[in-house]
Amino acid sequence: MRKIITAIFTVLTILMLAPYSANAAVKTIDTDIKQRVYAVGQYSNWDGVSTVAQFSDENGELGFAYVSDENLVVVKTKSGKVSKTINLKLKGETFGTIVCDSDGYYYVVTGTANTGDDTEKETIFITKYKSNGKLVKTVGDNGRSSLASYYDKSYNTKTPFSAGTCDAAVNGDHIAVYYGRKMYSGHQSCSAWMIDKNTMETVVPETGSYYKYSNYESHSFGQRVIPYAGGFAFMSEGDCYDRAFTFSMADLKSNKSVEKPVFDFYVKKGTLDAYNMSILNNNFAHIGNISDIGDGKISFVASSVKAMSSKAEKQIENVFIQIFDPSKDLSAKSAYITDGTRTGTAGNNGDQKKTNYGVKWLTSYKTGRIANPQAVADENGNTIVLYERYDSKYKYLGIYRIIVSPDGEVASKAKKVSKTALLNSCETPVYNDGAIYWCGNKYGDSSSKLYIFKLSI
């Protein structure tokens, strides 16, 4: 009887693990489009704006867009293959990103740098189009949309998408844009802008609590936003105020807000006092993605050195995940599902004792380099992690995949899924019907051919 029970348990275990044990490999689909994929303005640990923005359309399928002459070419796909192309006229000089709502409307984010000093001038725009490409309306903002009232006009946006990226999300009747920008003060920070997609008007919660939630990080070298609860969840990669990965949330229904560092970065003591920007800018980390994994929980994936001490200066970055409940105190261990405590000295002047909770390291490489950590969540709350790996001589080793369950356990260890595909840096892949899709080039291919990559899970 014991042998029979053991045999049954073994079979059940194999069946439970089967979806994550298959020899999954990336499928490559040629789009017949030539487009070099890279992030404009990306430098060191700073994000940039990808030349090919990717999004989920009204059917959950991968969509992507790129600039050609004065048009924005929007490409729709079905099952990973190109199905339709639409040309949109751009408003603004610089393309930021694009999102699509459940009705098939497109919302295109663009920016125009102000060469003058008029702080009231609108420099960032959202343009709404029908599914057939017909223009509906354009609205602009000057960068005050997420600033508390005590910030003066020098904090408005002078140059959008500077030393950061541009990300956007749709949640019900609302659109959120989160981007890096240069201010009139000469400094860099992030800014969040939320609008009602029906009226195309800026959204400010009735209670005024929004002004306590300024969503201001400086410097902010990477920004991510996703739909969450009755509003949006944000993540910023900062080097000073705060010197951390900082999570924030704006719930437009309940008017609740959160803004809290969840992962701190080491810096040499006295760096801010000495105003040594070259040292301060290096936070030994790169932002990845945040995902809503259900049941109110958020997963966050990024790369960083492991130490919060002078050892950080000699370590290489590895991939980690944090899973937490934003309704709880994010400075307390009880808010985190994942295990792992990280302690050390951080703060913008390197003189503050810090403790981070829920830090689960997914890799432990001693040599080489990790690039473009990315992640999406599936319908079961699993977080699928992707990253590029290079050896110590910068030779490309391929894309690796890790799967983490909703309770923070590794369901599938690091596995190489492609030797040639490249990830779309500073973008988020699209998960749809058991597969992950993204756009990119192949490593070593000088033809700049654009491919759709599909990884079945």
pLDDT digits (tens, 9 = 90+) for 393-452: 999 999 999 999 999 999 999 999 999 999 999 999 999 999 999 999 999 999 999 999
Choose the weakest-confidence range: 185-199, 202-216, 238-252. 202-216
With bands split at pLDDT 50, 70 and 90, how would you rate the model's confidence at 213?
A: low
Give Cα separations from 193 to 75, 139, 169, 300 (angstroms): 26, 11, 11, 22
User: Residue 452's pLDDT is what?
Assistant: 98
Asked if residue 2 has pLDDT above 60, the reply is no
End-to-end Cα distance, the chain: 36
The pLDDT tens digits of the residues spanning 146-162 come to 888 889 999 999 999 99
Residue 102 token pair: 């459940």
With bands split at pLDDT 50, 70 and 90, how would you rate the model's confidence at 206?
A: low
The pLDDT tens digits of the residues spanning 226-242 come to 999 999 999 999 999 99
| 3-class secondary structure per residue, the chain | CHHHHHHHHHHHHHHHHHHHHCCCCCEEEEEEEECCCCEECCECCECCEECCEEEECCCCCEEEEEEECCEEEEEEEECCEEEEEEEEECCCCEEEEEEECCCCCEEEEEECCCCCCCCCCCCEEEEEECCCCCEEEEEEECCCCCCCCCCCHHHCEEEECCCCCEEEEEECCEEEEEEEEEECCCCEEEEEEEEECCCCEECCCCCCHHHCCCCCCEEEEEEEEEEECCEEEEEEEEEEEECEEEEEEEECCCCCEEEEEEEECCCCCCCCCCCCHHHHCCCCEEEEEEEEEECCEEEEEEEECCCCCHHHHHCCCEEEEEEECCCCCCCCHHHECCCCCEEEEECCCCCEEEEECCCEECCCCCCCEEEEEEEEECCCCCEEEEEEEECCCCCEEEEEEEEECCCCCEEEEEEEEECCECCCCCCCCEEECCEEEEEECECCCCCCEEEEEEEEC
Asked if residue 208 has pLDDT above 60, the reply is no
Dihedrals φ, ψ of 7, to 5°? Answer: -65, -45
User: Residue 134's pLDDT is what?
Assistant: 96
CA–CA separation, 218 and 448 (whole Å):
35
The pLDDT tens digits of the residues spanning 91-147 come to 878 999 999 999 999 999 999 999 999 999 999 999 999 999 999 999 999 999 888
The pLDDT tens digits of the residues spanning 302-340 come to 999 999 999 999 999 999 999 999 999 999 999 999 999
Asked if residue 200 has pLDDT above 60, the reply is yes
pTM (two decimals)? 0.94
Phi-psi region of 326 (alpha: psi -120 to 50; beta: other; left: phi over 0): alpha
User: Residue 256's pLDDT is what?
Assistant: 77
The pLDDT tens digits of the residues spanning 282-308 come to 999 999 999 999 999 999 999 999 999
* CATH superfamily entry for domain 26-456: Prolyl oligopeptidase, N-terminal domain (2.130.10.120)
Q: Which residues of 352-388 are buried (b: 16+ CB within 10 A; e: fewer)?
A: eebebbbbbebbeeeeeebebbbbbbbeebbbbbbbb
User: Residue 322's pLDDT is what?
Assistant: 99
Q: Which of 375, 356, 334 minimizes the C-alpha distance to 263?
A: 356
Please give the single-letter amino acid code of residue 158: K
Computed over every residue of the chain, the mean pLDDT equals 92
With bands split at pLDDT 50, 70 and 90, how would you rate the model's confidence at 19?
A: very low
